[in-house]
């Protein structure tokens, strides 16, 4: 399906969710139990909508109790970064994910590893990038091309790998590229990004974005060994 604007994208994602709800009812799926087609619907939600649009759709969904048993498989388990602190009481998080205490994430939390799906961008080393915020255009969607001079907040994910692979890469036994792929870009580094297949449904997105060059200004790793870090980058 080819989409051209935010309204069409929202309707597309909502239609996917409605279809999955109907499928789950027909198959008598248990609450929080997945059915065929859940993964593409979840990917569309996480990849095609910016946090404000995700929040709007999510609140529309939870207003209908019939969607509650589908939230775990279509959106994932809470807490959710797209919700505001005032949304924390919108539902009981333990009903979606066992032992979950909050619907909202802390302000500085990075994107969960699983929420990247395909990500928004990738570099030549296979590291995935997800736009978290756009300073000049906070309402812009992920598939709308950033422009030169724009500052972005992005989360970057490196592949999870075994300790042995990390040690071998650090010792140079797997080549320079393999070692760099397991490290986060550092402040001062220039990185070339290309849109992932997440934007395939958006008409002209890949052509409009092309190669995106960014300069890393700030980097923050939440804890040693974490596979996701937060960067502030300038589009050059």
The pLDDT-based confidence of 4 (bands split at 50, 70, 90) is: low
Q: What is the mean pLDDT of residues 80-84?
A: 88
Q: What is the mean pLDDT of residues 182-207?
A: 89
Highest-scoring range by mean pLDDT, 145-149, 176-180, 198-202: 145-149
Q: What is the pLDDT of residues 149-164, one digit of tens each?
A: 999 999 999 988 777 7
| Cβ neighbours for 130, distance < 8 A, ≥ 6 positions apart | 111, 115, 116, 119, 120, 121, 142, 154, 155, 156, 157
Q: What is the mean pLDDT of residues 41-50?
A: 92
Q: What is the pLDDT of residue 149?
A: 92
Share the mean pLDDT of the chain: 88
> HSE (CB half, 13 Å, CA atoms) of 189?
14
Give first-to-last CA distance, the chain, whole Å.
32
Going by C-alpha positions, the residue among 234, 52, 45 that lies closest to residue 136 is 234
Phi, psi of 61 (to 5 degrees): -65, -45
212 or 166, which is more confident: 212
On whether the CB atoms of residues 142 and 131 are closer than 8 A, the answer is yes
On whether the CB atoms of residues 61 and 71 are closer than 8 A, the answer is yes
- pTM exceeds 0.75: yes
80 DSSP 8-state letter: B
Distance of alpha carbon 137 from alpha carbon 135, whole angstroms: 6
Q: What is the mean pLDDT of residues 210-232?
A: 93
Provide the percentage of residues in the chain whose pLDDT is more than 90. 50
**Token digits of residue 208:** 């409009």
């Amino acid at each position: 399906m080819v989409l051209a604007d935010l309204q069409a994208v929202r309707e597309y994602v909502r239609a996917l969710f409605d279809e999955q709800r109907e499928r789950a009812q027909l198959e008598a799926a248990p609450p929080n139990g997945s059915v065929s087609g859940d993964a593409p619907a979840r990917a569309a939600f996480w990849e095609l909508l910016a946090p404000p649009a995700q929040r709007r759709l999510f609140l529309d969904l939870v207003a209908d109790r019939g969607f509650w048993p589908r939230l775990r498989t279509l959106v994932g388990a809470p807490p959710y970064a797209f919700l505001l602190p005032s949304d924390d009481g919108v539902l009981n998080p333990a009903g979606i994910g066992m032992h979950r205490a909050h619907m909202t994430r802390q302000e500085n939390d990075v994107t969960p590893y699983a929420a990247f799906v395909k990500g928004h961008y990738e570099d030549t080393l296979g590291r995935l990038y997800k736009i978290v915020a756009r300073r000049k255009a906070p309402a812009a969607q992920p598939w709308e091309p950033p422009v030169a001079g724009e500052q972005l907040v992005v989360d970057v994910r490196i592949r999870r790998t075994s300790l042995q692979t990390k040690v071998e890469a650090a010792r140079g036994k797997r080549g320079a590229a393999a070692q760099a792929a397991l490290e986060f870009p550092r402040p001062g580094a220039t990185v070339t990004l290309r849109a992932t297949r997440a934007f395939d449904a958006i008409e002209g997105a890949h052509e409009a974005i092309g190669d995106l060059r960014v300069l890393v200004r700030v980097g923050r790793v939440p804890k040693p060994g974490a596979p996701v870090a937060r960067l502030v980058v300038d589009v050059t």
